[in-house]
Chain A
Amino acid sequence: MEDRQTLNRNLAQMLKGGVIMDVTTPEQARIAEAAGACAVMALERIPADIRAAGGVSRMSDPKMIKGIQEAVSIPVMAKCRIGHFVEAQILEAIEIDYIDESEVLSPADDVYHIDKRKFNVPFVCGAKDLGEALRRINEGATMIRTKGEPGTGDVIQAVRHMRMMQSEIRRLTSMSTDELYEAAKQLRVPYDLVQYVHDNGKLPVVNFAAGGVATPADAALMMQLGAEGVFVGSGIFKSGDPVKRAQAIVKAVTNYDNPKIIAELSEDLGEAMVGINESEIELLMAERGK
C-alpha cells in the first residue's frame, strides 16, 4: 500500500502548471474557478488586508471555509498558524484538501513547526532556501512554495527565494558523495533528502511560487525561474478587474515562455494592485519560521 505522504505529493503534482488563488467569499471562489484557478485558498482576509489591519492573525472561521468548499469543485486550501497543530486538526476535521502552515498568519510557536506526518491531509509550507524547504519536507510537507512577501504586490522576495533554491539545487547536483554528507550537515537536513536532490536535480515535492505576484508577467517570471505553479494572493481581488486579471495569469502560467502570448494577455488589464515596496514595510513575514 502507498502511504498518505505519497498520495498527498501526488495531489500537488496535479496542481502543477496552475494558479492557486486567495479568496475570501464563495462568490470570489466561483469567480476564481471560472477563471481557471486549479485550487483556491480560503481565508477571511487576504494578506494585503492582514498587513493593513495588524494584530494577531489566525485560522479562518471553519464555517466560512465550508461555504467556499460548497461553492467550488476544485481543491480548497486553508491556512493555519505555524506550529498551531490544533488549527491544523480543525482543518483536517472539515476535510480541507491542503493546509498551508503559513507565515502570513501570526506564528503560534517560535521553535517548532507542526509534525505534519501525524496528519492524513497534506501540507504546503513556505521556504526561502533549500535547507528550509528540506526541513519542511522532513516534517511531512508534501508541497513547497516560496515565502515571497505576501500582500505587497512586490515580487522581489519570491524571486530571491526561487533563485536561491535553484542555485543551491544546482550546487548539490554537482557534488561528490562525500561532499553530500557535509552539505546535509550544513543544511541541517537528513542525508537521504540531500541525496534525492543530488540525484534528481529537484525537490522531492512540487515547488510553487508565492508572494507578491501581481501580473501575468510576474507569474511567467516565476515559472521561468523554475516554479512549477503560482499562488496569487492579494494580486487578483485587489486589482481593478479581477476576472480579466485572473484569466490572464492562468494563461500566462501555461504559456510562460511565450512572450507574444504574454504580451497579448498583459494588454488592458486595468489597474494592478497598488502594492508596497519591500523596503517600505515594517513586518517581514518571510522571517517567521526557519
Chain B
Amino acid sequence: MMSNLRIATLALQGAFAEHEQMLRSLGAESVEIRNLNDWLTYAENPQGLIIPGGESTTMTRIMHDLELWDPIRDAIAGGLPVFGTCAGLIMLDSQHLATMDITAKRNAYGRQLGSFYHEGGFKGITDDGSTIPMTFIRAPYIETAGKDVEILSVVNDRIVAARQGNQLVTAFHPELNTDTHIHRFFLDIVEKSI
C-alpha cells in the first residue's frame, strides 16, 4: 500500500542512509536532499521529509549556507509531513526551525557513556502492552511541550517521542533497529495527508 510513496531524506550529514534503507524495505522510494536544487525539484510534488540523526549544529550550518533553511521551514509550517529523529527532533524545536511547539534538551543523558538501549511503549503502536526497540545515542529529550503536542512515549520520566499534527519526532533511532513500526506510523501520516 505504500509502494507509490516518495519520501525525501535530508542528506546533509548523519545517519540518513539507514532511514532510506528503512523506507525502501517498506516499499517507499527515497529521495536525498543535499542542496537547494535537490529540494526545489522535490518540492514540486512533496509528500514527506525525514530529518535524520547526526549533529544539529552541522545540519543548521549547512542548511543556512545552502539556503535550505527557509524553504524547508516554510514547507513544514505549511503542513508537509516531517519525521525527525534525535538531531532531527532538535531541528524542529523552538530554538531551531521552530515549527514544533517543543524545546529539546541536547545531550540530555551526557556524553557517549550515557548512550543506552531500551525497550519501551509507544502510543498507537504498543497499546497491546508490547514494546519496541529504542536506541538512544547522545540523545536529547523533550523538556517542554505545548498544548497541541501529543506525547507518544515516555522513558525514565522523560518525553522521548511526540507528534504535533504533521510533525513526528523521536529522541531515539528507530532506523538503527529492524523494527519498522515507527516508520510505518510516519508513512501512515503521509498517506493520510495526500
Contacts and interface: CB of A to CB of B under 8 A. Distances in A.
Interface in B65-98: 65-66, 86-87
A6 B57 CA distance: 24
Interface in B5-40: 11-18, 34-35
B86 A14 contact: yes
Nearest to A69: B111
A247 B138 contact: no
B116 interface: yes
Contact of A18 (B17, B18, B54, B66): B54
B184 to A, nearest CB: 22
A14 B88 CA distance: 12
A58 B62 CA distance: 35
A250 B112 contact: no
A251 to B, nearest CB: 6
A247 B65 contact: yes
A250 B54 CA distance: 14
B135 interface: yes
A94 B66 CA distance: 37
B138 A11 contact: yes
B13 A121 contact: no
Contacts of B35: 254-255, 258, 261
Contacts of A97: 111-112, 138
Interface in B96-113: 106-107, 110-113
Contacts of B34: 254-255, 258
B177 to A, nearest CB: 9
A74 B16 CA distance: 18
B155 interface: no
B58 interface: yes
B61 A73 contact: no
Given A7-B135, A18-B14, A121-B112, A36 B62 contact: yes
Contacts of A255: 34-35
A7 B116 contact: yes
Contacts of B58: 18, 36-38, 74, 250
Given A74-B55, A250-B58, A250-B62, A16 B14 contact: yes
Q: Which of A13, A34, A258 counts the most B-chain CB atoms under 10 A from its CB?
A: A13
A239 interface: no
Q: Which of A7, A8, A69, A247 counts the most B-chain CB atoms under 10 A from its CB?
A: A7
Interface string A184-201: 000000000000000000
B160 interface: no
Contacts of B66: 251, 254
B112 A73 contact: no
Contacts of B55: 14-15, 18, 38-39, 74-75
Interface of A: 1-2, 6-8, 10-11, 13-18, 33-39, 69, 73-76, 92, 95-98, 120-122, 247, 250-251, 253-255, 258, 261
4 residue pairs, one from A and one from B, having the closest CB atoms: A36-B61, A2-B117, A97-B112, A17-B13
